[in-house]
Amino acid sequence: MAIFQLLAEPEAYYPCRQDMLRDAEFREYWLNHFIHHFELTSQLAKDVYGVVAEPQITACHAELAAEMEALRAQPDTYGELNLQVLGTIRQRCLSGHDIADPYEHIKQQENARCVTMFAPLVRELDCIKNPREALEKLVLGVFAGNIFDLGASATAAAYKDSGPAFLQVRDGIARPWLIDHFQAFTDYYFRKPPRKAVMFVDNAGCDIILGIIPLARWLAQRDTEVVLLANDAPALNDITAAELRQVMSDLAGREPVLKQLYDAGIVRVAGTGGGTPLIDLRSVSDDCNAQCASADLVLLEGMGRSLESNFDTPFLVPCIKVCMIKEPIIAQRMGGRVFDVIFRFDEPK
């Protein structure tokens, strides 16, 4: 695994700006969150693996809780402590108990629900003749889709039975946003449309299908090559590259414009090499780097990839960081509220 070639300052790069070794309040919040949140993971794992797997699921939960308590007693066990470290520990516990993907079924259910909504949604978007208005509506869709987040306190419970209505959420997001660089981005875009955009994507379901893919389709129709970069290994309800290829195939069978773009490789999928909800750009796959070689726009989507990690990371090309905030402590420290949204746009210095 190699360092991401579009980092502007690779020698100074560090993905997570919050240091839990120094910040006791942040550390306690997240140690408690990882312990209690695993109750949802356990429930979903039982749905996937059945009653026969209950002993290993219980043992996995106990091991994770013990790891968190050990870090409470000795936070510097790993030399650093942040959300990437905690996410890696969780994935290690799951793998160690042969629980490969406890979110498999709920991802499939949400994907199936949203695939049927895709063609009507993009037909609606295609009717917007003003390109700036269309682009803003697409970004609102990315915000709304990002609410399908089973790793966050504010949204996990809502999806146990059925999720919030995508269109209702999208149409309820008002400007100004908490961080709102949309005008700067549109000025850049319409002055010099990118030749190639790479998007580090987040969750399955409405996040990818109703949020990111319509944006990718719109950009690709306007001569921007788009690469969708997804985790290679499962983590929470993040979509994997293999799952995303299946979603793209399903959508292409229902919507002719996307089919044309996907079949031509103008929109395509690649794996990052990752397997946690955050992304450490010190370690990406060779395929990820190869796909990004000629990119002139980077998009990091989702709280994990764009806010909890990489928020202040500079790149060699213009970069968008976009997400909806779904954790109270993050909202508080950003000077906002839960469900506030962020659209940060930075050009290279």
With residue 276 as reference, give the H or E element that holds it: none
How far is it, in rounded angstroms, from Cα 39 to Cα 67? 15
Q: What's the rounded mean pLDDT across residues 29-44? A: 96
pLDDT, the chain, mean: 96
Name the CATH superfamily, with its identifier, for domain 109-346: Uncharacterised protein PF01937, DUF89, domain 3 (3.40.50.10880)
pLDDT reading at 158 higher than 70: no
Domain boundaries for CATH 3.40.50.10880 within the chain: 109-346
User: Strand 297-301 vs strand 267-271: parallel, antiparallel, or unpaired?
Assistant: unpaired
Q: How far apart are CA 20 and CA 33, in angstroms?
A: 14
Strand partners, 297: 197
The pLDDT value given to residue 161: 53
Residue 266 reports pLDDT greater than 80: yes
Q: In terms of DSSP bridges, do strands 319-324 and 297-301 run parallel, antiparallel, or are they unpaired? A: parallel
Reported as a pLDDT band with limits 50, 70 and 90, residue 246 is very high
**Percent of the chain residues past pLDDT 70, beyond the cut:** 98
Q: In this predicted structure, what is the pLDDT of residue 165?
A: 87
Cis-peptide into 176, omega within 30 deg: yes
- DSSP code of 4? -
Note the pLDDT tens digit of each residue in 272-292: 999 999 999 999 999 999 999
Intervals of CATH 1.20.1700 along the chain: 18-96
- Compare 153 and 158 and report the one with higher pLDDT: 153
Mean pLDDT of all residues in 204-217: 98
For residue 201, give the nearest of 174, 171, 232 by alpha carbon: 232
pLDDT attached to residue 162: 54
Provide the pLDDT confidence category of residue 154 given band limits of 50, 70 and 90.
Answer: confident
**CATH 3.30.420 describes domain 18-96:** no
Dihedral over alpha carbons 217, 222, 227, 230 (to 10 degrees): -30
Contacts of 247 (CB under 8 A, 6+ apart): 111, 115, 204, 208, 209, 213, 239
Q: pTM of this prediction?
A: 0.97
